Structure 1
């Protein structure tokens, strides 16, 4: 396993980024976007919120407030995975 270069990203945060990269995540359109993985609420919404606030994940397009849309990595999110030695 490659060493992490961003000490602020936990193993769980990297796992959530991998889920988003795999196309398995949705987020709600809100100020504090909740994440769903394979249709099930994510067990760590705090980390999901942090990833969104850091600009590592975003919604794929506009939607009604509170509704779910597919999540995607931003270029910064892809770079964070790349820096951790993982393919985005």
Structure 2
């Protein structure tokens, strides 16, 4: 997040789900998120988190493939769980 952006409850919930290891991300320029195997209901927010580099792929994959998602340091800070960010 930026200093002037307070994360929404939905953004925080997604970031916490990523930290808990419950999220997959598609390998794409506009990645989609899947939480507990289901498509995230708010892909606009999912794309925004990826664009802000708060959520990234945990490992490389082929275009369109789902891989585990992980928080960046900035994502952990935004979620208030910096110690858990990889």
Fold agreement, TM-score > 0.5: yes
Structure with higher Rg: it is: 1
Correspondent of 1:41 among 28, 31, 39:
39
- Alignment partner of 1:10 is 2:11: no
* 1:21-69 deviation per Cα after TM superposition (whole angstroms, max 9, x unaligned): 0000000000000000011101001100000000100001110000000
The CA distance in 1 between the partners of 2:10 and 2:83, in whole Å, is 16
- Length, aligned pairs only: 82
Q: Which runs of 5+ in 2 are unaligned?
A: none
* TM-score normalised over the length of structure 2: 0.87
Q: Which runs of 5+ in 1 are unaligned?
A: none
Runs of 4+ in 1 over 2 A off after TM superposition: 5-8, 85-88
The match for 1:79 is: 77
Correspondent of 1:21 among 7, 10, 19:
19
* TM-score normalised over the length of structure 1: 0.85
Measure how far apart 1:81 and its partner are.
1.3
How large is the RMSD of aligned CA atoms in angstroms?
1.9
